[in-house]
Structure 1
Amino acid sequence: MANNSEQLTSRPEPVSFVQRCLNSIEHVGNKLPDPAMIFLFAMILIWVLSWVFSGTQFDAIDPRTGQSIVVHNLLSGAALADFLASMVKTFTGFAPLGVVLVAMLGVGVAEHSGFINAGLKLMLKRTPQALLTPSVVLIAIVSHTATDAGYVLVIPLAGVIYFAMGRHPLAGIAAAFAGVSGGFSANFIPSGIDPLLQSFTQSAAQIIDPEIAINPLNNWFFTSASSLFIVLLGWYITDKIIEPRLQAVKIDGDKENLPVFAEITQKERNAFYVSSAVMLLGLALLYFAASSPDSPLRAPNGQLSDFKAPLMQSIVPLIFLLFWVPGIVFGFLVGTFKSSKDMVQAMSKSMSGMAYYIVMAFFCALFIAAFAKSNLGALLAIEGAQVLKSLSLPSTVTIVGIILLTAFVNLFVGSSSAKWALLGPIFVPMLMQLGISPDLTQAAYRIGDSSSNIVTPLMPYFPLVVVYCQKYVKDTGIGTLIALMLPYSIAFLVGWTVLLLGYWMLGIPLGLQSSYVYP
């Protein structure tokens, strides 16, 4: 069970062409400034570009307003005054910051009490080495059901599990990141993202056909099949490309922060079972509270998976409680917690490890707010869609073009719903006039939206994954993570596109009440 990091660093560095390319990308990428400074420089660039284009008249129509799109000058006196006045609110209102910190408070108690460590010891005895990677990718995919839980739970735990098994922890982090973010649109369990995207698709389709109705699960069969595809592809890339390349990467993280795995004692085993029973009891109570048709945890329409449902909005607090309470129980049972002060110190220690992410989140929040206010992201998306429309390509080529354009726009505009709100009203009616259904157009969008998530430093959770990596390899930078994730991104983009075209060719239903043609 004990880790032998020296064994991970004693093998010769790979020399294949692919590995040399990835090494070059890592080298160049790590020459970039610190991620916090990249966000700062990007914000300044957005300011300058907003000033340059603010006086330009564009023909592109903003589908959100129905009027010509306008770039707002962020260097005007009023804009700068608003920037200063809203800086604190912009930072504290940055959604990923609250998600990460609240969840980590609970996870920190579970970690420092020994609860997570004990669970991993028991799990590692029952998990075959050969099935570790596909298990991690599958769990990462399923974590989408709980919104952003995968970023704060699955990814760091994957690194711990790989480290415990004597494998390189960065390989585990990469596999989980690929499943959580790169496989964002692959899930056999319906989640809130399905009705969210469907609502935009239906509104866009009604521009052409006011009576059309789109089923919220119109892509469910395809996303379910995509789960198996992403698991298999992620498994192969992790074990055959990523992990061999990491054999030459030394684990040099702070020893006191690296997990230590000794044999589990009977006292720890009993405490883990009791703590787990407490967690299961909490889940059972949650189930009964939500199962009633008139439960206050449901949305006004009676759905639990709707984004408006209090249950969906409570995912992060629930993660906090489901780790905090069992962690406290375990800590007092085994003696790692003697008083409430020990519990508070565990929470404080977990926050001290997030200091670097908080700094990056500050600049990231300011950049994203500036990008949204300037309207440059909307302009980029709309102009790109108009160019694709003007090319009048064959249907199959147009579908591929939509996937590629979405993947490109995703490098700058991270929110899935925000991009579809811009692109949907252009793509959906355009393809309906070519005889292509809204269901197929939405499926194409979801592929592009997922595939490039894992290689853009502008994605809000990207800096957090860098922090996870630095726990094991101190000099991990942007280039390191991009080089790790690029094989997944390219393989997902190409393979997933082929899978969709194959689905289309064979006429396999995309989902409930779906079609490939319109009308």
Structure 2
Amino acid sequence: MNSTEQQPAGDAGSERGWLNRALNFIEVVGNKLPDPAMLFLLLMVVVWILSWLLSGIQFGAQHPSTGEAITITNLLTGEQLVSFLTTMVNTFTGFAPLGVVLVAMLGVGVAEQSGYINALLKKLLAFTPKLLLTPMLILIAIVSHTAVDAGYVVVIPLGGIIFYAAGRHPLAGIAAAFAGVSGGFSANFVPSALDPLLMGFTQPAAQIVDASLSLHPLINWYFTSASCLVIVLLGWWLTDRVIEPRLANTPLDGDEDDMPEMHPIDTKESRAMWVATTVMVVGFVLLILSLIPETSPFRDPGTGQLTDFSAPIMQSIVPLIFIFFVLPGVIYGFMTGSFKKSKDVVDAMSETMGSMAYYIVMAFFCALFVAEFGRSGLGVLLAVEGGNFLRELALPGGATLFGIIILVGFVNLFVGSASAKWALLAPIFVPMLMQVGFSPELTQAAYRVGDSSTNIITPLMPYFPLVVVYCQRYVKGTGIGTLVSLMLPYSVVFLLVWSVFLIGYWMLGLPLGPGTSYVYPPAG
């Protein structure tokens, strides 16, 4: 048995009564919620009914853009139902998040299926000094978001393996990796598919108030990059000073023969990884050089700026994500033999698209709900009346932001999907906060903090049971309550400190992303 084995000072699988009751409540309530796809369908029906009930009422509220009186359109008339049917296909195919997510995932899928991403993660962790093992593991876990689910299936079990091999408690490694992958879900200095995904819901929500408003996928990039440092430092301190000492007396009772081992990448894989990475870096440098000249075709032809929403570079973010993952993925695949012919690359893309089938189904119903919510006029009415209510409360801006973060964190306990949740909340929060002067970019940043912080304590998160299984390889008695009690310190500290960080970031006026604003309408 590894040197971390100690005499037990208590039952590692025991669950405090209040925690168990809270978890049971969350699990029961969450399990009663419909599937997100069906939830959007039901909400669309609710919108139809409300549009019928409220269509004859004069509210006296005025549209913030046109100044005209807001009226509710009855969507249950024959004319409106026919319009719904005739535009259904275009509503779905024109749904903003659909194309950007699928294009980005085509590239990420090639890099993941070829083995390039896994090799890169292993290489980075293998060269890390023991002193920096925890922060490097958390950083790798954060960066793994770029490959979507790679962190859950690769980095988290690797965390346990690496800590076990280093003579440390493997559950502490799993906890640190889980905190980075899921608790720091929105902290990443590498653009990923999550950025266009969330923006795709934020933009149509903002257009409920301002139809001319346009956003780009990197509206939170500077903030999420800075958040990386916050999550790494917090996770490092919590793991080494709180979590691992708490696990000191938790014995390892898993079968040694069944405990996984970390196999280093071989010479051929290492060579392929370096060549693929070099090509990606060279490509990135060439891109940067192409942006420097004032005559660069990537600049806005009118203003010559790179950060304007209409600049070609901003419109090319998703295609660039695709290219910068396809290139190293293809090179690594052919050099290692995981790809032997061009069809293998296509098959990798196909397999990735297969994993997106559920998202496509959900996006169909979500697109219909968002479109009907906008056509009804309910979104504008809710935004204006909600904005008036917030103005009457006269809360400080920081208090409003913190309230949004806490509310999102609570909702996240019951609706685990980041995209499904933001699709529900964006049409309410974004236009409402625009009415009190908060930009869509700031509202999305607040959402990301609340959504990430409580991911690691809800059993309804799809990968939560899988993490329990990882723990049971080393401590057989690990249960849901054990894992939640292990992750609760991360969740609480992340939620509080990250919220304060966002508010401080906002008060200092640091940009959230290229060409972004904190206020609506933007100054100047």
CA distance in 1, matches of 2:491, 2:71: 33
Q: Give the equivalent residue in structure 1 for 2:375.
A: 373
Establish whether residue 347 from structure 1 lines up as the match of residue 349 from structure 2.
yes
Establish whether residue 359 from structure 1 lines up as the match of residue 358 from structure 2.
no
Q: Give the equivalent residue in structure 1 for 2:168.
A: none
Establish whether residue 400 from structure 1 lines up as the match of residue 394 from structure 2.
no
Q: Over residues 463-503 of structure 1, what are the superposed CA-to-partner deviations in whole Å (9 max), with x where a residue is unaligned?
A: xx9677798789xxxx99xx999998876665566568889
CA distance in 2, matches of 1:130, 1:288: 35
Structure 2 residue corresponding to 1:131, chosen from 122, 135, 140: 135
CA shift in 2, pair 1:97/1:454, >3 Å:
farther
CA shift in 2, pair 1:163/1:68, >3 Å:
farther
Q: Give the equivalent residue in structure 2 for 1:435.
A: none
CA shift in 2, pair 1:162/1:455, >3 Å:
closer
State the Cα distance separating 1:387 from its structure 2 match: 2.1
CA shift in 2, pair 1:120/1:399, >3 Å:
closer
CA distance in 1, matches of 2:117, 2:382: 44
CA RMSD of aligned residues (A): 4.9
CA distance in 2, matches of 1:456, 1:366: 29
Q: Over residues 74-124 of structure 1, what are the superposed CA-to-partner deviations in whole Å (9 max), with x where a residue is unaligned?
A: 222222112111211222222222222212211222122221121122012
Q: Give the equivalent residue in structure 1 for 2:61.
A: 60
How do 1:33-112 and structure 2 match up within 5 A? 33-112=34-113
CA shift in 2, pair 1:261/1:500, >3 Å:
closer
State the Cα distance separating 1:378 from its structure 2 match: 2.5
CA distance in 2, matches of 1:51, 1:90: 22
CA distance in 2, matches of 1:386, 1:404: 17
CA shift in 2, pair 1:159/1:383, >3 Å:
farther
Structure 2 residue corresponding to 1:164, chosen from 158, 167, 175: 158
CA shift in 2, pair 1:359/1:223, >3 Å:
closer
Unaligned runs of 5+ in 1: 1-9, 141-149, 205-218, 248-258, 429-437, 458-464
State the Cα distance separating 1:46 from its structure 2 match: 1.4
**Alpha carbons 1:304, 1:311 under 8 Å: kept:** yes
CA distance in 2, matches of 1:510, 1:102: 33
Which letter does structure 2 place at the counterpart of 1:109?
V
Q: Over residues 26-52 of structure 1, what are the superposed CA-to-partner deviations in whole Å (9 max), with x where a residue is unaligned?
A: 332123222211111111111111221
**Alpha carbons 2:383, 2:428 under 8 Å: kept:** no
What SS does the aligned partner of 2:106 have? helix
CA distance in 2, matches of 1:277, 1:157: 23
State the Cα distance separating 1:173 from its structure 2 match: 6.2
What SS does the aligned partner of 2:436 have? helix
What's the % identity of the aligned pairs?
Answer: 44
State the Cα distance separating 1:329 from its structure 2 match: 1.3
CA distance in 1, matches of 2:369, 2:492: 27
CA distance in 1, matches of 2:264, 2:223: 43
Q: Give the equivalent residue in structure 1 for 2:329.
A: 327
CA distance in 2, matches of 1:238, 1:40: 42
Establish whether residue 298 from structure 1 lines up as the match of residue 299 from structure 2.
yes
CA shift in 2, pair 1:349/1:82, >3 Å:
same
Which letter does structure 2 place at the counterpart of 1:157?
G
CA distance in 2, matches of 1:153, 1:377: 34
**Alpha carbons 1:357, 1:467 under 8 Å: kept:** no
Unaligned runs of 5+ in 2: 1-10, 161-170, 211-219, 251-259, 412-420, 470-479, 512-516, 519-524
Structure 1 residue corresponding to 2:436, chosen from 427, 432, 441: 427
CA distance in 1, matches of 2:350, 2:224: 40
CA shift in 2, pair 1:270/1:311, >3 Å:
same
Q: Give the equivalent residue in structure 2 for 1:212.
A: none
**Alpha carbons 2:71, 2:377 under 8 Å: kept:** yes
State the Cα distance separating 1:265 from its structure 2 match: 0.7
CA shift in 2, pair 1:134/1:305, >3 Å:
farther
Structure 1 residue corresponding to 2:147, chosen from 153, 156, 168: 153
Which letter does structure 1 place at the counterpart of 2:436?
F
Q: Give the equivalent residue in structure 1 for 2:472.
A: none
CA distance in 1, matches of 2:356, 2:465: 12
**Alpha carbons 2:454, 2:491 under 8 Å: kept:** no
CA distance in 1, matches of 2:268, 2:178: 30
**Alpha carbons 2:40, 2:366 under 8 Å: kept:** yes
CA distance in 1, matches of 2:100, 2:175: 23
CA distance in 2, matches of 1:236, 1:41: 44
Which 10-residue stretch deviates more, 489-498 or 36-45? 489-498
**Alpha carbons 2:125, 2:136 under 8 Å: kept:** no
Which letter does structure 2 place at the counterpart of 1:262?
H
Q: Over residues 409-461 of structure 1, what are the superposed CA-to-partner deviations in whole Å (9 max), with x where a residue is unaligned?
A: 9977768799555543x424xxxxxxxxx9xx99986775544445999xxxx
**Alpha carbons 1:337, 1:343 under 8 Å: kept:** yes
How do 1:102-251 and structure 2 match up within 5 A? 102-127=103-128, 128-132=132-136, 134-135=138-139, 139=143, 153=147, 156-157=150-151, 160-166=154-160, 172=177, 175-181=180-186, 229=230, 232=233
Which letter does structure 2 place at the counterpart of 1:427?
V
What SS does the aligned partner of 1:64 have? coil
Which 10-residue stretch deviates more, 290-299 or 488-497? 488-497
State the Cα distance separating 1:24 from its structure 2 match: 2.5
CA distance in 2, matches of 1:511, 1:184: 17
What SS does the aligned partner of 2:99 have? helix
CA distance in 2, matches of 1:444, 1:220: 12
**Alpha carbons 2:382, 2:432 under 8 Å: kept:** no
What SS does the aligned partner of 1:25 have? helix
CA distance in 2, matches of 1:220, 1:349: 29
Q: Over residues 137-162 of structure 1, what are the superposed CA-to-partner deviations in whole Å (9 max), with x where a residue is unaligned?
A: 8659xxxxxxxxx6x53664365212
TM-score, normalised with respect to structure 1: 0.66
State the Cα distance separating 1:263 from its structure 2 match: 2.2
